[in-house]
Amino acid sequence: MRLFLAALAVLLLAAPAARAEDTLNPPHWQSEGVFGSYDKAALQRGFLVYQTVCAACHSMNELHYRDLTDLGLSTAQAAAIASTVKLSTGPATLDDIFKAPAVNASAFGGALPPDMSTLVAARPGGTRYVYNLLTSYQNAPADVTLLPSHYYNTAYPGLQIAMPPPLKDNAVTYADGTKATTAQEAADAAAFLTWAANPDLDDSKEIGLRAVLFLVFLTIIAIATKRKIWRESL
């Protein structure tokens, strides 16, 4: 894992990153809205958070290492990251699925941590749900008795969650110089998981925009043709 993270840090430093923007005041994501698109810089930071913090417990079974090129990495950089991952068959390749963690259900009360590939899609308001969940750990009120090995979280249904607070300030070091506060790490992780659940968002919105423009063009042609026909018929 240390070798993987070291290689990842070096490659993210070399990757062409978009301009870092303030996504916390208020919390927002570039992918939101009709014309939104993914912020490659945020996706790269979120991938680093996932690999550093989340990958020890949570799998990403819908992603292959070749998908890292969608984050702004070159094919060679993605292949280099994959090659540091050791599988039973040898070093991972671009065609391999993200390596799943070796976790024991008994360590989590008999339940395995969920796969994070489609987590955002499975939760209402998924992107904000992930952000709120990661930033809403608090001390339990005096009148609340926590279940064994549970933590108080105001964003989680039932307010008690078995996952300990996963993030802390400076849990990672961002290649683009962004300050790694807990809130920033949570926002970037939410951005990365949003992309993982819907990696084709940018293409879909581009196709939709082209379709709308084409229909507008056809409407203008139809109106102009109708007016021309009526003028000639008078």
Phi-psi region of 110 (alpha: psi -120 to 50; beta: other; left: phi over 0): left
pLDDT by residue for the chain (234 residues), tens only, comes to 555 555 565 555 555 544 455 667 777 777 776 667 889 999 999 999 999 999 999 999 999 999 999 999 999 999 999 999 999 899 999 999 999 998 876 666 677 889 999 999 988 899 999 999 999 999 999 999 999 889 999 999 999 998 999 999 999 999 889 999 999 999 999 999 999 998 865 555 555 555 556 566 667 777 767 676 777 665
